[in-house]
Amino acid sequence: MKLLDKKVAVVTGGGRGIGAAIALELAKNGAAVVIAGRAVSELEETAKKINEIGGRVFPVQADVTKLADIRNMFDKTIEKFGRVDILVNNAGILHYGPFAEMPDDMVDAIVNVNLIGLMHCTKEVIPYMRKQKNGLILNISSVAGKHGYADLVVYCATKFGVIGFTESLAQELERDGIRVYAICPTSTQTKMWEQISNQPAEHVPEDVALEIIDLIKNMRKIPTGKAIDVRKHV
């Protein structure tokens, strides 16, 4: 019996980087995984890796800034697997540079993906989890949600927002048997990191994935609403 047998997880931004690593690790531990993202080729590549280890995976093209896409993502999840036990809100973008020089549409895009999209995904999954009287919502924040950084002003603001959202929502949903956590990586070796630095990152995506597995194993000891720092696992 695996840790997540009979569980169904939805991972946004599941086609690459941290999201792909999380999806793969959840599948290794027995979960059926729905991976959502905008790039079909990336979703197919991650699905192939999960299939190769004998995991169950279902890719769904979705843009978390579009409510119709979010609803379709959950409709397809329920149609395919009948339930949803875990939501990993991982989709995120950033822009590196002085705030005063940022294009207006980039400000909007970062807020819409990193915070508003995350909120809409969460709002749509709550009725399913309430019906089950059980659920786990994992919001990928960042150490940049605890400390501000120059040239990442809007990104930091959204990640601070994710932590506040997590802590507040956890208080609302605890009575429904739904637990909510924020996961806070430091620099992680992904395409997003490579956009802003030519230095090695502190973590690899697998560190984030394994931190989540460790959380799930020890969840009853960890208060809901907590923002959890990522340790080195790999």
Q: Which residue numbers are catalytic?
A: 155
Distance CA 144, CA 151 (A): 12
Question: Is there a contact between 134 and 178 (Cβ–Cβ < 8 Å)?
Answer: yes
Name the DSSP class of 116. Answer: I
Owner of token pair 């230095």: 199
What is the torsion angle, in degrees rounded to the nearest 10, for the CA atoms of residue 193, residue 198, residue 202 and residue 206? 50
Q: How far is CA 61 from the centre of its chain?
A: 15
Comparing CA positions, the residue from 162, 119, 122 lying closest to residue 141 is 162
- What gap in Å lies between CA 94 and CA 83, rounded to an integer? 32
The DSSP secondary-structure symbol of 141 reads: -
DSSP state of 231: P
CA atoms of 74 and 91, how far apart (whole Å): 16
H and E: helices and strands count for the chain: 8, 7
